[in-house]
Chain A
Amino acid sequence: MKKKDVVLENVTKKFGDIVAVNDISFSVKKGEFFSLLGPSGCGKTTTLRMLAGLEKPTKGKIYIGEEDVSEVAPFERPCNLFFQNVALFPHMNVSENIAFGLEMKKLPKSEIKKRVKELLDVVGLPGFEKRRTKELSGGQAQRIGVARALARKPRVLLLDEPLGPLDLKLREEMMIELKRIQKVVGTTFIYVTHDQGEAITMSDEIAVMKEGRIIQIGSTEGLYNKPRTAFVAEFIGRSNLIRGRYREGKVNLNNLNKSIIIGPHKVADNDYVAVCIKPERISIGEDIANLDNVFEAVIEEVYFQGAQVNYKVLMEGNYKISIFEHYRGKIFEQGKKLKIGWGKEDVHLSEA
Chain B
Amino acid sequence: MSIFNKILKFIRKRERLSIGMQLSPAMFWIVFFLLIPLGILVIYSFWEMVGTRLIPVWDLRNYVDVFTRVGGMYIRLLVKSLAMSALVTVGSIALAYPVAYFVSLRIEKYKYTWLILLMGPYLVCWVILVFGWKMVIGYSGLLNYLAQLLGLISEPMSWMWNNWWAVVFILIMGWAPWLVLPMFVSLEKIDKSLLEAAADLGAKPMKRFLRITLPLSSPGLLVATFFVLIPTFGEFVTPALAGGSRGVMYGNAIDASFTSMMAWPFGSALSIFLMIISLIVATILIRIVGLEKLMESL
Contact = CB atoms under 8 A, between A and B. Distances in A.
Chains A and B form a bound pair: yes
Nearest to B192: A87
B194 A100 contact: no
B194 A89 contact: yes
Contacts of A152: 201-202
A210 to B, nearest CB: 26
Contact of A80 (B194, B201, B212): B201
A87 B204 contact: no
Interface string B185-215: 0000001011011111111100100011001
A54 interface: yes
Nearest to B204: A75
Interface in A58-100: 74-76, 80-81, 83-85, 87, 89-91, 100
B92 to A, nearest CB: 25
A324 to B, nearest CB: 41
A52 interface: yes
B241 interface: no
A105 interface: yes
A87 B191 contact: yes
A74 B200 contact: yes
B216 interface: yes
A104 interface: yes
A101 interface: yes
A91 B216 contact: yes
Contacts, number: 55
A81 B202 CA distance: 11
Interface size of A as a range:
20 to 34
Contact of B212 (A76, A89, A148): A89
Contacts of B215: 91
Contacts of B207: 104
A101 B211 CA distance: 12
B148 to A, nearest CB: 52
Contacts of A74: 196, 199-200
B40 to A, nearest CB: 46
Contacts of B191: 85, 87
A100 B193 contact: no
Contacts of B200: 52, 54, 74-75, 80-81, 149
Interface of B: 191, 193-194, 196-204, 207, 211-212, 215-216
Interface of A: 52, 54, 74-76, 80-81, 83-85, 87, 89-91, 100-101, 104-105, 148-149, 151-152
